[in-house]
Structure 1
Amino acid sequence: MGDIEVHEEATHPAWDDWVATVPGGHHLQTSGWGHVKADGGWRATRIVVRNGGRIIGGCQLLARSLPLVGGIAYVPRGPLLVSRDPAVLDAVLDALRDHARRKRILLLKVQPPVDRRDLPELLESRGLVASGLHTAPVASVVVDVGVAPDEDALFRALHATTRRRIRQARRGGVTVRTGTGDDLSILQDSIEATARRQGFAPYSAEYYRRLWAAFGDSGHARLLIAEHEGTPLSAALLIAFGDRVLYKIGGWRGVEGSPPGANELVHWTGISWARTAGYRYYDFEGIPLDVARAALAGNRAVRHGVAFFKLGFGGEPVIYPGTYDLLPDGLVGRGLRFVLPRAERWRGVVHRVSGRRSAPVEARRPGLRTLVGGIPGLRRPGTAA
């Protein structure tokens, strides 16, 4: 089915342009994201399927080598396909298998795009194994900003507590401005303050610089900073890509005596901007899977934590496709089928093997962040982004 290309160059403008327009396209599939993860030792490769010169499918995988283990790789929010033709999926999977054999990749994790709920069944029918360890959130809260007739309707859809805190922030003199690359230290300070309160390790300053270089300079990133009388209170980095604005990362400095509601005002500003800029969705990027399931069943009894905060903005809980493992044939593959479900028990060893300098900030509570080799952002069901 078409011509198969393998690209390993640092940037691939034609691929990035296609990812930005194809259904399900996500910033995690761009060469910019490959640049961000290169600081952690990950190498980006793109599998591209063309038909008559036109891209009809493909994926970006991120891989790294480990001493004594071999290679590991993951495909976040892919593969991307222009149609539902299973022959295109088969072409991508065959190319992935061939690439994994040639590069001695022991484990390759695949997590489909958010809009392809048909892919899990197709992947399982092609020999991939469902995993409980994910490369991206499997549940989130999404506000459909495009369906609201005006901003007032969006505001009325917020929970009463959220509306009240936004009004308190405004009355207290809190303002929100759009930051630049020069303000990344404010973002980092806010996240580090949150990390100290909640007991996780934040990314390094280099991570935020790479994020901004990859997406800020191109206009895909937007940094919002809440201030009171010139003092920063909180900050949030948004990634605008495809049809949605995604809350990527953020934090609250916890300044004593500051007015309440700075975090709510930051996100309300982001939601309002997303609608004005013509995006369809504002995605909060992760809540615990059990909370999402309960909310979809009509039980929204959760009253605390990050999930409660995110649900307060009137969005709907959604469940995205989970992760599937493409394992090697033979004894090694059978061994991994036994070992991988037990990987959570090895958390301490996993972090040492990974060589990771710090755990990601996305999770609100401690949990498995990495598999063997340290796939950043790997999540068990129930962890919040």
Structure 2
Amino acid sequence: MRVIINGDKNLYTKFVESHPKGHILQTLEWAAVKDDNWGHIYVMVEDQGDIKASMLLLIRKLPIIGKNMIYSPRGPVCDMHDKTVLTFLITEVKKLAKQYNAIMLKIDPDIKADDSEVIKNLKDLGFMRNEEALNFEGIQPRFVFRLDIRPDLDELMANFHSKTRYNIRLAERKGVTVRMGTRQDLPAFHQIMEVTGLRDNFVVRPLSYFEKMYDCLHDRGYLELALAEYQGQIVSGIICLFCGDKCWYLYGASSNEHRNVMPNYLLQWEMIKRAKERGCTMYDFRGVSGDINPDNPLYGLYRFKKGFNGEFTEFIGEFDMVLSPMWYSIWQKAVPAFRKARRKVTLMLKRSKEDVEKHEHDAAGGME
């Protein structure tokens, strides 16, 4: 076996797209989306003329300390039960990580939580499993719903929860329509994304990020934007990503108006149909909480996605190979506190801005 570093891009892409564990987050186009803050390298393992494994490595400079972290989102792409190939790959990647002065190598593979063989393989290679997280504490969601969309549309619809079927048909009866969006629709999508973030208490990326994501992924066929309209107004939208025979629902946004006509249900149904047209066999609804107590503030998201009858899936989570124990310990303590503070300040500023704009609007209305 031999390792190939930054080799033939077409060969790398073909392998990622065709492998059962291939993932959009392992594509070179995704690396381009992230290149404002992350550098990257990509590796392949070749054995007797065949590619056996690949791995996209995102590299980020850590502030102050002058060292790096390396992260492979949903990597590596290989049969992780094949310990010979996995050991060779990780050994070579570890050498690269040391060359880049990294304090750790982080992975979060697309492997189910009950796969004890892969967990053992990773621990034997020196990885440490992060603490369990029930909500969205990790970089990628630990819990998702995944729907097998190989059955025909009638069977898929019949397997949805009765309330989900009712809401899809209600949206159709009320005159909600769905169309595929373009880059010119991104400002309108982002506007309702901001509304959604304030309503559901999460921080929204700037419009420029969505524009860059569109530019990097759409022409390649990796991204589609769908919009639901009611009475001539965009009321909700979703962004889905595609790679090989898989589709991921990445972002969803909805207005505070006309939620009673259930546009979000129809959007999901139309995008499931779109994924089938493209030859996909799996539709991933992405993150939900692992805490399915109805009192959990995230339970509504769980209930919405559960209605489409996907498989509730838990992944093995994040595994870190620690290369600098002291700096890794500092990182583990500092980053969660920083993210929590940043999120709190960002949401506070957004709400303050919204209050000011509302006050100005009300004042203007009073003078008319």
Is 1:163 the counterpart of 2:165 in the alignment?
Answer: yes
Counterpart residue identity of residue 346, structure 1:
A
Residue equivalent to 2:285 = 284
1:84 deviates by 3.7
Point out the structure with max Rg over C-alpha. 2
Gap change, CA 1:66 and 1:94, over 3 Å in 2? same
Residue equivalent to 2:350 = none
Moved more, 126-135 or 306-315: 126-135
Tell me the SS of whatever aligns to 1:217.
coil
1:275 deviates by 2.6
Contact 1:141 1:318 in 2 (8 A): yes
Which aligned pairs between 1:70-85 and structure 2 lie closer than 5 A? 70-81=67-78, 84-85=81-82
Which aligned pairs between 1:152-301 and structure 2 lie closer than 5 A? 152-255=154-257, 257=258, 259-291=260-292
Q: What is the rounded CA distance, in whole Å, between the counterparts of 2:106 and 2:20 in structure 1? A: 21
Counterpart residue identity of residue 270, structure 1:
M
Residue equivalent to 1:107 = 104
1:180 deviates by 1.9
Q: What is the rounded CA distance, in whole Å, between the counterparts of 1:171 and 1:185 in structure 2? A: 28
Q: What's the TM-score once normalised by structure 1's chain length?
A: 0.80
Residue equivalent to 1:369 = none
Q: What is the rounded CA distance, in whole Å, between the counterparts of 2:330 and 2:102 in structure 1? A: 16
Q: What is the rounded CA distance, in whole Å, between the counterparts of 2:162 and 2:4 in structure 1? A: 52
Tell me the SS of whatever aligns to 1:154.
helix
Seq. identity, %: 28
Post-superposition CA distance 1:176-234 (Å, at most 9, x none):
11112222222212211101212322111221122112221112212111001221010
Gap change, CA 1:338 and 1:220, over 3 Å in 2? closer
Contact 2:289 2:298 in 1 (8 A): no
1:25 deviates by 0.1
Q: What is the rounded CA distance, in whole Å, between the counterparts of 2:87 and 2:220 in structure 1? A: 33
Post-superposition CA distance 1:16-51 (Å, at most 9, x none):
121000120001001101011112x10111122112
Residue equivalent to 1:51 = 47
Q: What is the rounded CA distance, in whole Å, between the counterparts of 2:62 and 2:335 in structure 1? A: 19
Tell me the SS of whatever aligns to 1:285.
strand
Aligned residue pairs, count: 338
Contact 1:168 1:259 in 2 (8 A): no
Counterpart residue identity of residue 269, structure 2:
W
Residue equivalent to 2:313 = 318
Equivalent of residue 346 in structure 1, options 319, 325, 337:
337
Equivalent of residue 322 in structure 2, options 313, 319, 327:
327
Residue equivalent to 2:123 = 124
Residue equivalent to 2:351 = none
Q: What is the rounded CA distance, in whole Å, between the counterparts of 1:338 and 1:201 in structure 2? A: 27
Counterpart residue identity of residue 3, structure 1:
R
Counterpart residue identity of residue 80, structure 1:
V
Is 1:25 the counterpart of 2:22 in the alignment?
Answer: yes
- Runs of at least 4 residues off by over 6 Å: none
Q: What is the rounded CA distance, in whole Å, between the counterparts of 2:300 and 2:289 in structure 1? A: 10
Moved more, 150-159 or 20-29: 150-159
Contact 2:235 2:263 in 1 (8 A): yes
1:306 deviates by 0.7
Contact 2:222 2:241 in 1 (8 A): yes
CA RMSD of aligned residues (A): 2.8
Contact 2:112 2:313 in 1 (8 A): no
Gap change, CA 1:124 and 1:350, over 3 Å in 2? farther
Contact 1:24 1:115 in 2 (8 A): no
Contact 2:81 2:118 in 1 (8 A): no
1:277 deviates by 3.0
Contact 2:149 2:281 in 1 (8 A): yes
Q: What's the TM-score once normalised by structure 2's chain length?
A: 0.84
Contact 1:187 1:250 in 2 (8 A): no
Q: What is the rounded CA distance, in whole Å, between the counterparts of 1:51 and 1:35 in structure 2? A: 28
Equivalent of residue 90 in structure 2, options 88, 93, 96:
93
Q: What is the rounded CA distance, in whole Å, between the counterparts of 1:68 and 1:277 in structure 2? A: 46
